[in-house]
Amino acid sequence: MPEDRTAFPWHDYYRRGLITRRQLVKLTAMIGGAAAVSSVLSEPRPAHAALAPAAKQVLRYPNVEPLHFDPATMESRPEILVGMALFDPLLTFDDAGKAVPVAARSWDVSKDGLTYTFHLRSGMQWSDGHPVTASDYEYAWKRVVDPDIASDYASAFYPIKGALDFNKGKTKDKNTIAVKAVDAQTLRVELTDPAAYFPRLVSTWNYLPVPRWSVEKNGKKWVEAGNHVGNGMFMLQKWDHDREMVIVANPKYWGAKPTLQRVVFTITDDTFRTSLPAFENNELDLTDQIQPGDIDRVRKDAKLAPQLHKYRWSGTAMMFCDTTNPASPLSKAKVRQAFYLAMDHKRLATEVLRGIYDPAPTVTPPGTMGYLSTPPLTGGVAKAKQLLAEAGYPNGKGFPEMKLAWPKLVTYDLVAQAMQQMLRDSLNVNITLQRMERKEYNAAFNSWAKQPYTAFIDRWGSDYEDPANWANILFDSEQDFFHTRWKNAEYDSLVRKGSAEGDPAKRRQMYESAERILNTDLPAIPIYHLGVIIAVKPTVQGFRLPPAAAAWYGTFGRVKILAG
């Protein structure tokens, strides 16, 4: 990865005065420590700048209309971003990957790795004054698994003993789910198998608590402002659907009070199209929705350019190949390897995608255990041609028709066309492109066996930065979320052992070995790692979005508004 990292336009930023020399040195020094990149890239602010008075501690932020803030069914970015401010998880993870207690002051794990006991802080209150107890977590977790709730994320609870059977409707008895409030301050959970990633799961939004009395009193309307009760640093004050939403500092919060007093979310359908003009017209204090088409203009704008900041997002866009369809050339590993080597990842990221994203020489993104700083396959186009010839298609001769599909997204449109061109130029093969609406794509994707496409472009982002969220879910032959139908016994064995392994050093070794196999056989060809460019007004201090959604807890608590 060093070569690709050098391609990142830091030097250009420094030359144009966007970052200081000190920052440049820091950034360069931290090439290998990608987890720290986001914090370093956050904007420089003079430490002595005066804070704005409390009444002006307001952040204006664009957001898409959330569906609700019910932890059981929260699933999209607009919900998670706000939801993590409205509720406290038991624990979270810092940028270095260390577990940090939040609502739980501590937790124990049994020797066999099967029982977790969380000890809650005492004296915590919900925003309406009810005490926060272990029962609130027990109620909430069992609720997510209830088939009547039909939560998209019920599967995140399957590691808990009894959860899958209850979700399948095999039993109606909630008490068969092994989550139990032993007393007001103690929550005990039993797992079916040891799962070293369980604390990571617990840090996600679906594991947040729920105020039972409000749910029972207001039914599905408990999520509306006025009824909504949370235990987080902020609380929901106003929600004018599709117009505006306001969260304010929660006076009953147990922990340090935030400097920021209010966040006003301007709700829009198309943040990509509407938020940058609103930011430029000073209606918003920041926007994290800048599309590739606007990047060049914004970078050239003397006023806007210094307000841009880039963050890493833990995710990778890939070309997922059907590895078993004998009619498809992609069933041959050598063809997949040839495609991988013929693609110029650096050009795709810096030229085609205007530097918003980073080149992805490997599948698992930096910051997640298993990430390889050097890809196992090398050799460039020359090697790619050789591999293609060995696969039976010398100079592309006889290469059968291959269809590549993707759900409509501007970055996929751009990379698909660029990849088509690159493969034609370097390997003399032609691929047919098919762009689809997301629903149409998902429908084809869900009936994979019947659909006519040989490969799909799609991406995977970390809910939480753990290899279990990558290696096990995506490529274990029994999970195979992207239907590559790839089966590698050694890989399966490594990742299954890895998910249960409690020793971090051994665990890392297992996942790195698995990643090496994955990036050699390439059932998915990595294209780019995700990132985001955010425009922030100079008066906003401390805003940053951690690379995985589960770590967004505390995002608004870090923000301060300077007197401007």
Partner 1 sequence: MGAYLLRRLLLAVPTMAVVYTVAFLLVHATPGGPWDNAEKPLAPQVIENIRIKYHLNDPLWKQYLLYLNDALHGSLGPSYVNTARDVSEIIADFFPVSLQLGVVAMLFAVGVGIPLGTLAAVYRNTAIDYAAIGVVVTGISIPNYVMATILVTVLAVYLHWLPTGGWGGIWDVRVIIPMVAIGFRPATTLARYLRTSLLEVLGQDYIRTARAKGLATRRVVVRHGLRNALVPIATISGILVADVITGSFFVETITRVPGIGRYFVTATTGRDYPVLLALALLFAVIIITMNILVDLSYAALDPQVRYG
Q: Please, which residue, 158 or 254, has the CB nearer to partner 1?
A: 158
> What is the C-alpha separation between 498 and 364, in angstroms, rounded?
15
Alpha helices per DSSP H over 203-319:
212-218, 271-280, 292-300
Name the segment binding partner 1 (CB under 8 A); options: 14-22, 207-215, 363-371, 432-440: 432-440
Edge-to-edge strand order for the sheet containing 186-190?
Answer: 104-109, 115-120, 186-190, 179-183
Asked whether position 103 contacts partner 1 by CB under 8 A, the answer is: no
Structure tokens that stand for 222 in this block: 């408990």
Least distance to partner 1, CB of residue 93, Å: 20
Q: Which long-range contacts (CB under 8 A, 24 or more apart) does 493-497 make?
A: 495/467, 495/471, 496/472
Residue 148 vs 489, nearer CB to partner 1: 148
Which SS3 state, helix, strand or coil, does residue 127 take?
coil
| Residue from the set 74, 90, 267, 468 that interacts with partner 1 by CB under 8 A | 267
442 scored as a contact of partner 1 (CB under 8 A):
yes
Residue whose C-alpha is closest to residue 314's, from 433, 469, 185: 469
Chain residues 470-509 in contact with partner 1, contact rule CB under 8 A: 481-482
Residues 7-36 binding partner 1 (CB under 8 A) are none
Q: Which is nearer to partner 1, 161 or 560 (CB)?
A: 161
Contact flag: residue 128 with partner 1 (CB under 8 A): no
- Name, in order, each residue with C-beta under 8 angstroms of 129's C-beta and a sequence gap of 6 or more: 252
- CA nearest to 357, candidates 508, 181, 366, 392: 366
C-beta of 266 vs 541, nearer to partner 1:
266
Query: In the complex, what is the shortest distance from the CB of residue 157 to partner 1, in angstroms, rounded to a whole number?
Result: 11
Q: Which residue lies nearer to partner 1 by CB, 176 or 386?
A: 176
Q: Is the dihedral of CA 537, 56, 84, 222 positive or negative?
A: negative
How many C-beta neighbours within 10 Å does residue 464 have?
22
Regarding 413 and contact with partner 1 (CB under 8 A), the answer is: no
Q: Looking only at residues 224 through 263 of this chain, which bind partner 1 when binding is defined by CB under 8 A?
A: 224, 240-243
CB 71 within 8 A of CB 103: no
Shortest Å, Cβ 458 to partner 1: 8
Q: For partner 1, which is the closer residue by CB, 13 or 482?
A: 482
Binding test (CB under 8 A) with partner 1, winner from 106, 110, 373, 446: 446
Exactly one of 150, 182, 327, 563 binds partner 1 (CB under 8 A); that residue is 150
Query: Does position 401 bind partner 1 by CB under 8 A?
Result: no
The site string for partner 1 over 282-321 (x = CB under 8 A, - otherwise) reads xx--------------------------------------
Q: Does 452 bind partner 1 (CB under 8 A)?
A: no
Single-letter amino acid code for the residue at 116: Y
Q: Given the complex with partner 1, which of 280 and 413 has the nearer CB atom? A: 280
SS3 533: strand
Longest dimension (CA), the chain: 73
Whichever of 274 and 539 has its CB closer to partner 1, that residue is 274
Question: Using CA atoms, how far apart are residues 538 and 368, in angstroms rounded to an integer?
Answer: 32
Residue 59 dihedral angles phi and psi, to the nearest 5°: -115, 130
CB burial string 484-517: b at 16+ within 10 A, e below: bbbebeebbebbbebbbbeeeeebbbbbbbbbbb
Q: Is 217 in the site for partner 1 (CB under 8 A)?
A: no
- Among positions 15, 221, 257, 397, the unique one binding partner 1 when judged by CB under 8 A: 221
With contact defined as beta carbons under 8 Å apart, do 535 and 286 qualify?
yes
Q: How far is the CB of 396 from partner 1 (least distance, A)?
A: 33
Interface positions with partner 1 (CB under 8 A): 67-68, 70, 73, 75, 147-148, 150-155, 158, 164, 167-168, 220-221, 223-224, 240-243, 266-270, 273-274, 277-278, 280-283, 437-440, 442-446, 460, 481-482
